[in-house]
Homo-oligomer: A and B are copies of this chain.
């Protein structure tokens, strides 16, 4: 059996980062956590870091404002996975340019996974503002990675189930509604829904695999390719309750975006891409792409029926 790669995880206390840590430890990789000095005042993050440490991870102190400290951290491992925030509330994607510089200088990294884990930014040139900022910045990071010839894998993880399945893709809620539900358009556009723990597992599976080298890995578990309406119907079956359905036309949806804050506009424009345009599933995976559930059929991924049972 080969020695398992040593993995450094950046953004480890975040929503996806903590799943990647869990998977890395579960799959017996020596796991290193970048611990940023700014965190010392945040008791919740420190608690999480200490729980990773208890589970066997090593904390490595470094700062994005200290290039040398990043280089030193990177030199301790074989693989770097970044899950730094890139959502509608906190957008730190371009901080990774500093990480790319450090990886370039260290020269020892066999694989880098930058923080993407959503829609493939390489296919989102058409995306609506202001949500497109996320894709534009992720592409800037890709450019830097490729210019430095750093071995990499990009991961398109599609919809985080905990955000959008629990709330049946209702804006601003992550628990199922009890009476009524809004459907986008006719509710029939296909999307791809993925359990966050599975994202962690597939990510760790990919990092030592030559099949994913310099490719984009899409996570498309076949049973989880569902329209919003199918998700709503699954919930109705599970809960035994019928919900009143209101169908929102694309025009009404976009008008509703106008009064929102900048952060909310980013979120809403991503809903537009997913549920009106179908940007998660309106393309075939090309020659530079691979699909996770095909590569790793041994992973027993969570279906959305099973995922939704926790809300009953």
Which chain B residues lie closer than 8 Å to A15 at the CB level? 43-44
Verify A40–B167 contact, CB threshold 8 A: yes
A43 to B311 CA separation, bound complex (whole angstroms)? 13
Q: Contact check: which of B40, B50, B166 meets A310 at CB < 8 Å? A: B50
Kindly report which residue of chain B lies nearest to residue A167, judged by CB atoms: B40
Task: Determine how close the nearest CB of chain B comes to the CB of A59; give it in whole angstroms.
Answer: 9
Verify A41–B173 contact, CB threshold 8 A: yes
Which chain B residues lie closer than 8 Å to A162 at the CB level? 43, 46-47
Verify A166–B54 contact, CB threshold 8 A: no
Verify B174–A42 contact, CB threshold 8 A: yes
Task: Determine how close the nearest CB of chain B comes to the CB of A234; give it in whole angstroms.
Answer: 17
A163 at interface by CB-CB < 8 Å: yes
Interface string of A153-182 (1 = CB under 8 A from B): 000000000110011000011110000000
A15 to B43 CA separation, bound complex (whole angstroms)? 9
Verify B310–A173 contact, CB threshold 8 A: no
A109 to B139 CA separation, bound complex (whole angstroms)? 59
Verify B175–A54 contact, CB threshold 8 A: no
Chain A residues touching B, majority SS: helix
Question: Known contacts A40-B167, A167-B40; is A175 also within 8 Å of B46 by CB?
Answer: yes
Which chain B residues lie closer than 8 Å to A53 at the CB level? 310
Which chain B residues lie closer than 8 Å to A54 at the CB level? 310
Verify B40–A173 contact, CB threshold 8 A: yes
A166 to B173 CA separation, bound complex (whole angstroms)? 35
A54 to B41 CA separation, bound complex (whole angstroms)? 31
Considering only residues 5-30 of chain A, those with a C-beta below 8 Å from chain B are 15
Which chain B residues lie closer than 8 Å to A47 at the CB level? 162
Task: Determine how close the nearest CB of chain B comes to the CB of A195; give it in whole angstroms.
Answer: 12
Interface centre among A39, A166, A175 (most CB of B within 10 A): A175
Verify A174–B310 contact, CB threshold 8 A: no
Selected A-B contacts with CB under 8 Å, 15 pairs: A15-B43, A15-B44, A40-B167, A40-B172, A40-B174, A40-B175, A41-B172, A41-B173, A41-B174, A43-B162, A43-B163, A46-B166, A47-B162, A50-B311, A53-B310
Which 6 residue pairs across A and B have the least CB separation, nearest first? A40-B173, A40-B175, A46-B174, A41-B172, A43-B174, A50-B310
Interface residues of A (CB under 8 A from B): 15, 39-44, 46-47, 50, 53-54, 162-163, 166-167, 172-175, 310-311
